[in-house]
């Protein structure tokens, strides 16, 4: 998909871009964020298309490259608010069973079961599986931790969420299923990649065009889930072990 063109929003136009009128009570970071939003063609395109967020284009672009939605019947969206990815799934696979979960409230989406709760809650996995009616074909995760302004701390917190998402995906997915998650460039990536490669047949890192160039976010597309690790179903070595031959 080609990047949308054009700007949007309000303010004063300067050199083809919208300039934000600075408010006295607004911080510099807030002004920069607002100006970026007003001049982001994906924000305008998302609004025009009825998507709840510009992130919808990220999933659309990933699907165009990896055929993520082809033939899927059960989908889980972790950290789903405000619901843009669920919208994309339902448009492409209107008969699919889609379950969304997030700490934040999500406005209802036709055909989507929504849980407002923490994925770390003891009952989260059981609720999702019950709503799905079986194991998932695809688990999506666009989760990121709230930032505190310290780069290393923010990175560690977000990577922790990604690891939680992977752990849940390995319990929700059917063999052959797919996991897609937002990751951040930086320390700890090798450990995460190793865990992904152990659990999936193929692992790709990609930055879709809709992902802002200045952002450290990438997306991991892990396909061909191998199923539960062998050691999880291996018999207790203390039971029925034959003596070593002499």
Is residue 238 one of the residues assigned to a domain?
no
The bridge status of strand 97-102 relative to strand 74-78 is parallel
Contact 116, 103 (CB under 8 A): yes
Q: Do 115 and 167 share a domain, yes or no?
A: yes
Pick from 25, 18, 57: which is nearest to 208 by CA?
57
Q: Which two tokens stand for residue 116?
A: 């407002």
- Asked if 47 is an active-site residue, the reply is no
Indicate whether 94 and 199 sit together in one domain.
yes
Q: Within this chain, do residues 198 and 130 fall inside the same structural domain, yes or no? A: yes
Both tokens assigned to 55: 């992130």
**Across the beta sheet with 173-184, what order do the strands follow?**
112-116, 97-102, 74-78, 136-141, 173-184, 217-225, 200-206
Q: What is the pLDDT of residue 159?
A: 80
Residues 100 and 192 in one domain: yes
Can you tell me the distance from the alpha carbon of 159 to that of 189, in angstroms, rounded to the nearest whole number? 8
Binding site annotation covers 218? no
Q: Is a pLDDT exceeding 60 seen at residue 78?
A: yes
Is residue 85 a known part of a binding site?
yes
- When pLDDT is averaged across residues 180-184 and rounded to a whole number, the result is 89
Judgement on whether residues 201 and 136 belong to the same structural domain of the protein:
yes
Q: What is the pLDDT of residues 95-109, one digit of tens each?
A: 999 999 999 999 999
Residue 102 marked as a ligand binder: yes
Give the per-residue pLDDT at 121.
96
Say if residue 22 is in the same domain as residue 84: no
Instruction: Evaluate if residue 32 carries a pLDDT over 50.
Output: no
71 falls within a domain:
yes
Is 83 annotated to bind ligand? yes
Q: List the catalytic residue out of 24, 182, 204, 207.
A: 182
Range of the domain at 161: 53-227
Q: Is residue 234 part of a domain?
A: no
Residue 155 lies in a domain: yes
pLDDT band (50, 70, 90) for residue 149: low
Split into its structural domains, the chain has a count of 2
SS3 77: strand
6-19 pLDDT tens trace: 333 334 334 454 44
Question: Which pLDDT does position 157 carry in this prediction?
Answer: 76
Do 63 and 165 share a structural domain? yes
pTM comes to 0.76
Domain assignment of residue 32, yes or no: yes
Whether residue 173 is found in the same domain as residue 222: yes
């Amino acid at each position: 998909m080609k990047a949308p063109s054009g700007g949007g929003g309000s303010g004063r136009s300067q050199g083809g871009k919208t300039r934000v009128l600075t408010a006295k009570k607004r911080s510099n970071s807030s002004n920069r964020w607002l100006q970026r939003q007003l001049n982001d063609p994906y924000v305008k395109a998302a609004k025009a298309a009825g998507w709840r967020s510009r992130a919808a284009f990220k999933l659309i672009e990933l699907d165009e490259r990896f055929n993520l939605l082809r033939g899927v019947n059960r989908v889980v969206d972790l950290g789903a608010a405000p619901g843009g990815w669920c919208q994309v799934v339902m448009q492409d696979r209107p008969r699919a069973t889609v379950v969304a979960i997030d700490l934040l409230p999500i406005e209802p989406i036709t055909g989507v079961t929504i849980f407002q709760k923490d994925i770390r809650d003891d009952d989260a996995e059981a609720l999702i599986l019950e709503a799905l009616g079986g194991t998932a074909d695809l688990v999506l995760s666009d989760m990121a931790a709230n930032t505190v302004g310290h780069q290393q701390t923010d990175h560690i917190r977000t990577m922790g969420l990604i690891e939680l998402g992977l752990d849940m995906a390995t319990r929700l997915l059917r063999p052959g299923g797919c996991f897609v998650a937002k990751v951040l460039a930086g320390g700890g990536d090798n450990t995460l990649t190793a865990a992904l490669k152990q659990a999936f047949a193929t692992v790709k890192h990609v930055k879709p065009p809709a992902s802002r160039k200045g952002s450290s976010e990438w997306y991991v597309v892990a396909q061909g889930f191998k199923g539960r690790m062998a050691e999880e179903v291996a018999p207790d070595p203390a039971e029925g072990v034959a003596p070593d031959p002499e």
